Amino acid sequence: MTDKIKEIIKYAENPKFSEDSESQDYLSDGQMLDLVIDKLKNLSDTNKAINFNLRTYYANIIDADDCIRAIDDAVNGETKPPTT
């Protein structure tokens, strides 16, 4: 997860998004904030899905292969994380 946070920081600090207001890549502070918040929410949701699947595995509700598959799906954005 630390690597994902570092990627978000690197993205936000990229000068191509802030240096030239006439550039096609330019993002206002508000636009950048919205993007960073969305990325952090996605990271948080992925973390919730991983924790949920690990808890169900440790409680013997799903087997190891199903747990790995579910976590892989959550990380790759193929499934929705649980809402609880």
pLDDT at 26: 92
**What pLDDT, in 10s, does the model give residues 35-58?**
898 888 888 888 888 888 788 888
**What pLDDT, in 10s, does the model give residues 8-40?**
889 899 999 888 889 899 999 889 899 898 888
pLDDT at 64: 80
pLDDT at 51: 84
Q: What is the DSSP string of 13-55?
A: H-GGGTS-TTSTT---HHHHHHHHHHHHHHHHHHHHHHHHHHH
Count CB atoms within 10 A of the CB of residue 74. 22
The domain ranges of the chain are 2-75
Task: Provide the 3-class DSSP secondary structure of residue 50.
Answer: helix
pLDDT at 58: 81
Number of helices followed by number of strands (H, E) in the chain? 3, 0
Q: What angle do CA 78, 82, 84 make, to 5 degrees?
A: 165
